[in-house]
Amino acid sequence: MKVVKFGGSSLASGEQLQKVYSIVMSDPERKIVVVSAPGKRSSDDIKVTDLLIECVEQYLSNSKENAPVATLLERYSSIAQELNLPKDVMEAIEADIYKVLEGDQSKPEKYMDAVKASGEDNSAKLIAAFFRSMGTDAVYVNPKDAGLYVSDEPGNAQVLPQSYENLYKLREYEGIVVFPGFFGFTLDGEIATFSRSGSDITGSILANGTKAKVYENFTDVDAVYSVNPTIVENPKEIKELTYREMRELSYAGFSVFHDEALIPAFRAGIPVNVKNTNNPSAPGTLIVNERHNTNGPVIGIASDKGFCSIYVSKYLMNRELGFGRKLMQILEDYGVSYEHSPSGIDDMTVVLKEDQLDPEKEAKIVARIYDELHADKVEIDHGLALLMVVGEGMRHNVGTTAKASQALADAGVNIEMINQGSSEVSMMFGIKAVNEKKAVKALYDAFFVGVPAL
């Protein structure tokens, strides 16, 4: 039995839904279908989730007349019309949209989640109706009825462990189960959504709960590429990669697949197959525990901007008990989380997401590091990008670091920081964000150009 998830662009129009239907029908093992809300039909279109967010903002600021409700309704009604669905399908969706928008606004975050979740919920109802109209036995299942429970963290919910056992019962349904992605219910019976793009997470949870053979994730690209295709033209496709490699790549900007979605599949050892709705016969990318395809040492290159570093130096730091802890405590006191912390004998650098700081917070943090830790020097460096060179077994391969740093040197990119020691599967370089594209291209050329296909 397979769990199949379709992303927003696969569900954006009637034409796309016809493709989805034939993909599901072409394999009797495709039994549980997890769906997103309708996404973009073209690059200048607006996703249903974004329209819903805009509606909430207008409703909360008492200007509901400016909410794009008509556009929202039109997204569903155009699909229903294209597919010749019975009138009552759209009537029910319209009634539901007004009901959630007029719902309880006393807790804005919860109101926001309830409205956002309706995007996937109505999408699932519409798709189940479409499958039935094609003569296929299909049923919409609500996450509450299925027992998909999540923590009470609006917009960032986490699955609760008892859900897995509940979800196993989804196997008992006769026909195809159509399940809305992106949200679950708290133990108090309230809707809570996962973080953005969270339908991937729902699919992975269902694959784990139902002990599926594979979790197929249909999107709009043929494969996960070895580098961002907007930086390098026609990059190599990755045929097979491990969960750990995917995690590192998606951490640094690979947006094909939500990084949190890997956890449930990984825990149950269920392979994830990323495939293309618009080209379903392409094998796609398989994410597994251990890959058999050995490839070269490097499988992908990722990068992300928006980081800064706090550099702290103090003579004899290595001899001082608790220095690192105290430094991290100061950051914790300001609600700042950190990403990496490369260190030397008398120095420590803490790399963090830049948007957590503002000039006032920054000044207070620096002052406390001087006052409480008696540091010799504290410097904050803004505008950093992180480059990740990722591949299992890379560390056991002589010369990978040399090759990467040589490529960066040849491209005239200064390396601000290297972190190679801690991860088995990646090597990280900190550089100035202005050099990001140039650096990624140089690394791609060094590791992939002229190298046999993965």
Summarize as ranges the residues that interact with ligand ASP (CB under 6 A).
Answer: 8, 36-37, 47, 49, 119, 181-182, 196-200
Q: What is the DSSP letter of 356?
A: G
Pairing of strands 240-242, 237-238: unpaired
What strands lie across the sheet with 417-419, from one edge to the other? Answer: 338-340, 347-353, 300-313, 377-390, 426-432, 417-419
Cβ-based nearer residue to ligand ASP, 119 or 284 = 119
Choice between 144 and 196, CB closer to ligand ASP: 196
Least CB distance to ligand ASP at residue 199 (A): 3
Closer residue to ligand ASP (CB): 194 or 323: 194
- Which residue, 197 or 426, is less far from ligand ASP as judged by CB? 197
| Cα dihedral across residues 235, 47, 129, 83: positive or negative | negative
Minimum distance from residue 119 beta carbon to ligand ASP (Å): 6
What's the closest the beta carbon of residue 38 comes to ligand ASP, in angstroms? Answer: 9
Q: CB 200 → ligand ASP: shortest distance, Å?
A: 6
Taking residue 214's Cβ as centre, other Cβ atoms within 10 Å add up to 18
Quote the least distance from Cβ 93 to ligand ASP, whole Å. Answer: 16
- Answer yes or no: are the C-beta atoms of 216 and 276 closer than 8 Å: no
Q: Residue 47 or residue 125: which is nearer to ligand ASP going by CB?
A: 47
Least Å distance, CB 5 to ligand ASP, is 9
Distance CA 336, CA 328 (A): 9
Residue 330 CA to its chain's centroid (Å): 30
Kindly state the smallest distance separating residue 202's Cβ from ligand ASP, in Å: 8
Smallest gap from Cβ 402 to ligand ASP, in A, equals: 40
Is residue 258 within 8 Å of 215, Cβ to Cβ? no
d(CA 234, CA 248): 22
Nearer to ligand ASP, 186 or 204 (CB): 204
CA 214 to each of CA 204, 272, 404: distance values in angstroms, whole numbers, following the listed order: 10, 6, 35
Nearer to ligand ASP, 20 or 365 (CB): 20
Q: Which residues of 280-310 are buried (b: 16+ CB within 10 A; e: fewer)?
A: beeebbbbbeebeeebebbbbbbbbeebbbb
Please answer whether residues 5 and 218 qualify as being in contact, where contact means their C-beta atoms are separated by less than 8 angstroms: yes
Smaller CB distance to ligand ASP: residue 201 or 427?
Answer: 201
Report the distance separating Cα 148 and Cα 5, nearest Å. 16
Nearer to ligand ASP, 7 or 430 (CB): 7
Nearest distance, CB of residue 50 and ligand ASP, angstroms: 7
DSSP string, 248-279: HHHHTT--SS-GGGHHHHHHHT--EEEEETTS
